[in-house]
């Protein structure tokens, strides 16, 4: 079964049926703002279906080391974006230009700390100051639904982490990192960690204080002083 999941169509069907693909879209809706984004690097893009949910006009480049996913992505979505068989490193910016958003959906939990840290470091090196890093992964947390815990334990990715562990991975190179933990993104019980990071620390507006946030989810935030806080968060407001 695990090998079969490497086949592009079956992988996407499983993602869709389980609600895991929809979870990515909900995370985009809640934690990403594409306004001002000109170029996206999608590291570990898989079969590339996410490109259907990237606003037109944004230059999209997907990287994956699995040629079957990239062949499928180019066949289906090659007119809309570029998909390349390539392990991501910072030289990608020399070849494709500087991105202002880097995505890693469902990828970090396939990488050990050394590999993940090297990729995150390269991402930080090539992003401009206004750029964002965004990752979504399965996440352990205490008291989580046993089905969620079982699925995470048996995931193909052997490096599922807790929210503070995802945060520590990224916070070493991104002064502003936030990890949002969500149990409500898929119909199959599953805990997601959404990691959002940038190189400059944006000041919080009065409107964004914890007490004024209506739909709250647990999250951890680390600022430039390295302080981890438990807090509450509501999805970003759209104009
Ligand atoms: C679980 S899939 C996620 C696919 C897609 N992003 C999604 O949201 O469904 C993880 C992908 O990461 C790719 N991958 C793993 N290590 C990579 C690396 N160093 N560079 C690029 N892709 C990598 C794998 O080949 C696989 O396609």
For residue 228, pLDDT over 90 is answered with no
Residue 7: predicted pLDDT: 82
Question: Is residue 181 classed exposed, middle or buried when 0-12, 13-18 and 19+ CB atoms within 10 A define those classes?
Answer: buried
For residue 235, pLDDT over 50 is answered with no
Percent of the chain scoring above 70 in pLDDT: 82
Alpha helices in 18-112 (DSSP H): 20-31, 67-77, 92-96
Q: pLDDT of 124-171, one tens digit each?
A: 999 999 999 999 999 999 999 999 999 999 999 999 999 999 999 999
**Core vs surface per residue 220-229: b (16+ CB within 10 A) or e:** bbbeeeeebe
Q: What are phi and psi of 145, to 5 degrees?
A: -55, 135
Q: Which long-range contacts (CB under 8 A, 24 or more apart) does 91-95 make?
A: 92/41, 92/61, 92/63, 92/126, 93/126
Q: pLDDT of 192-224, one tens digit each?
A: 999 999 988 766 544 443 333 333 344 555 444
From 21, 63, 65, the mutation candidate for ligand 1 (largest count of ligand atoms within 8 A of CB) is 65
Q: pLDDT of 29-49, one tens digit each?
A: 999 999 999 999 999 999 999
42 CA to middle of ligand 1, Å?
A: 9
Domains identified in the chain and CATH numbers? 4-232 (3.40.50.150)
The DSSP call for residue 106 is S
For residue 109, pLDDT over 50 is answered with yes
Residue 170: predicted pLDDT: 96
For residue 18, pLDDT over 90 is answered with no
46 CA to middle of ligand 1, Å?
A: 5
Residue 238: predicted pLDDT: 33
Predicted confidence band of residue 91 (pLDDT cuts 50, 70, 90): very high
Predicted confidence band of residue 65 (pLDDT cuts 50, 70, 90): very high
Residue 219: predicted pLDDT: 55
Residue 167: predicted pLDDT: 96
Tell whether ligand 1 has an atom less than 6 A from the beta carbon of residue 192: no
Residue 221: predicted pLDDT: 54
Average pLDDT, the chain: 86
From 64, 115, 120, the mutation candidate for ligand 1 (largest count of ligand atoms within 8 A of CB) is 64
For residue 239, pLDDT over 90 is answered with no
Q: What is the mean pLDDT of residues 175-193?
A: 96
Residue 200: predicted pLDDT: 83
Residue 11: predicted pLDDT: 87
Residue 209: predicted pLDDT: 38
Please tell me the distance from the alpha carbon of residue 164 to that of residue 219, in angstroms, as a whole number.
9
217 CA to middle of ligand 1, Å?
A: 27
Q: Which long-range contacts (CB under 8 A, 24 or more apart) does 233-239 make?
A: 233/178, 233/180, 235/29, 235/30, 235/31, 236/30, 236/31, 236/33, 238/33, 239/35
């Amino acid at each position: 079964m695990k090998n079969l999941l490497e086949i592009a169509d079956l992988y996407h069907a499983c993602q869709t049926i389980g609600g895991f693909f929809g979870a990515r879209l909900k995370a985009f809706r809640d934690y990403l703002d594409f306004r001002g984004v000109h170029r996206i690097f999608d590291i570990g893009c898989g079969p590339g279906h996410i490109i259907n949910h990237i606003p037109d006009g944004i230059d999209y480049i997907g990287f994956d080391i699995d040629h079957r996913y990239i062949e499928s992505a180019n066949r289906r979505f090659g007119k809309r974006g570029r998909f390349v068989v390539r392990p991501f490193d910072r030289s990608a910016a020399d070849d494709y230009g500087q991105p202002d958003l880097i995505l890693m959906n469902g990828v970090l939990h396939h990488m050990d700390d050394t590999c993940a840290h090297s990729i995150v470091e390269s991402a930080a090196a090539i992003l401009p100051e206004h750029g964002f890093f965004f990752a979504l992964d399965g996440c352990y947390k205490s008291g989580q639904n046993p089905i969620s815990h079982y699925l995470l334990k048996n995931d193909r990715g052997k490096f599922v982490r807790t929210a503070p562990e995802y945060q520590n991975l990224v916070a070493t190179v991104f002064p502003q990192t936030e990890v949002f933990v969500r149990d409500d993104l898929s119909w199959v019980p599953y805990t997601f960690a959404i990691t959002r990071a940038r190189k400059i620390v944006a000041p919080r507006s009065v409107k964004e204080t914890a007490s004024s946030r209506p739909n709250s989810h647990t999250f951890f935030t680390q600022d430039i002083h390295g302080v981890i806080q438990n807090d509450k968060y509501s999805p970003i407001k759209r104009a």
